[in-house]
Chain A
């Protein structure tokens, strides 16, 4: 199962597919999913597994991943992705409720440059506390020119992706005039199939939320009874 060791020279000769196959054979997370290697499993579905990270960013750090080997998240087909994120949501909810934390972070790195460490896609879900110093995103302010430039670069691709017919040609760096014109276009019509399936169902929690807000300040919830609305309400609404 472990396979033989390959020299760098041999690896260099291999095709991308062969290397992918080799990585798959030696993938520790595939072995955890097939129970060849033990791990602290907290939840399992036919296609998805949730384990505790042995190198946690914070106490309660969970890894959610598809059992099938995918290297990066864009490789996961939508149907599997839906199952994965159903569990991500469940895990985040469980952390909020059972560990009494007030926030969670869902973190995915695609590629070594982004900080990916394993050749198997992993969705990190970990509890957050005030000033824990994790996943600090520095910020800068964009100038109007930068906004126009980026929009010119990205908008055509994204419009294409969502099937907007009116998408202009791909704007090269030297053709920013096009980008400006495109901005003045009327709002794009959403793709037809999206319009049809729009539906409105009253959200049961919203009602509850409104009622709760009326009853002003509430006592701190007892253990195990953390209300998600309280977490949402931390924004001072």
Chain B
């Protein structure tokens, strides 16, 4: 299948690239600074991407979101995965969209808040629970050998910072300090 990402049709938009992800300015942006993270390997939809790839992409999205907040002083960020043609996925290559938001950007992504009837929710719950029980939902990459290497994947390992290891500790108490330090690390 032809893929504009794998064929590198938008080389000029690339901001960063390593052997697992490509971060680029969105080909068709919605707001200024709209970025997209693609997996280096080709997966058409999210379900096909193995957990380690997905996690790395999401964690990168998270860190980019933080940059936007802390350094570019945006008012909010959206992280969106449009999965499948009806969802508005335009490029047949799994991607995570990150949109910097400002209060006056006139972008409206919310949906109308309609309360669902309790019966409707119950029937959906039943359908979903049945679907979950059908374990023919074999998660695609369960067949893959999952190497234990979460540690090496930490993007900050190059710059050891004692406070970075404190992520297991209660974040709430340390939050301010942790983000201040992170802030200081980036010029």
Contacts and interface: CB of A to CB of B under 8 A. Distances in A.
Interface of A: 16-17, 20-21, 24, 40, 42-43, 52-57, 59-60, 62, 69-70, 72-79, 81-82, 85-86, 89-90, 92-99, 101-116, 128-130, 132, 134-142, 144, 146-147, 150-151, 153-155, 157-164, 169-170, 187-188, 190-199, 201, 203-205, 224, 228, 231-235, 237
B13 interface: yes
B6 interface: no
A96 B63 CA distance: 29
7 contacts: A40-B122, A101-B86, A114-B78, A115-B110, A135-B109, A153-B72, A231-B47
B184 to A, nearest CB: 12
Interface residues of B, number: 106
Contacts of A102: 84-86
B121 A129 contact: no
A137 B88 contact: yes
Given A59-B124, A109-B78, A233-B44, 6 more contacts: A74-B63, A112-B76, A114-B109, A191-B155, A228-B48, A237-B44
Nearest to A97: B131
Contact of B80 (A107, A169, A194): A107
A113 B55 contact: no
Interface string B23-41: 1010011101101000000
B5 interface: no
B107 A89 contact: no
A142 B25 contact: yes
Nearest to A73: B62
A82 B175 contact: no
Contacts of A97: 131, 134, 137
Nearest to A183: B12
Given A139-B29, A157-B186, A197-B153, A73 B86 contact: no
Given A43-B132, A134-B111, A54 B116 contact: yes
B131 A232 contact: no
A113 B183 CA distance: 22
A100 to B, nearest CB: 10
B28 A42 contact: no
B47 A228 contact: yes
Interface in B126-161: 127-132, 134, 137, 139-141, 143-145, 147, 149-150, 152-159
A202 B124 CA distance: 36
Contact of A52 (B103, B109, B124): B124
Given A55-B113, A190-B18, A78 B59 contact: yes
A205 B87 CA distance: 23
Contact of A106 (B18, B83, B114, B139): B83
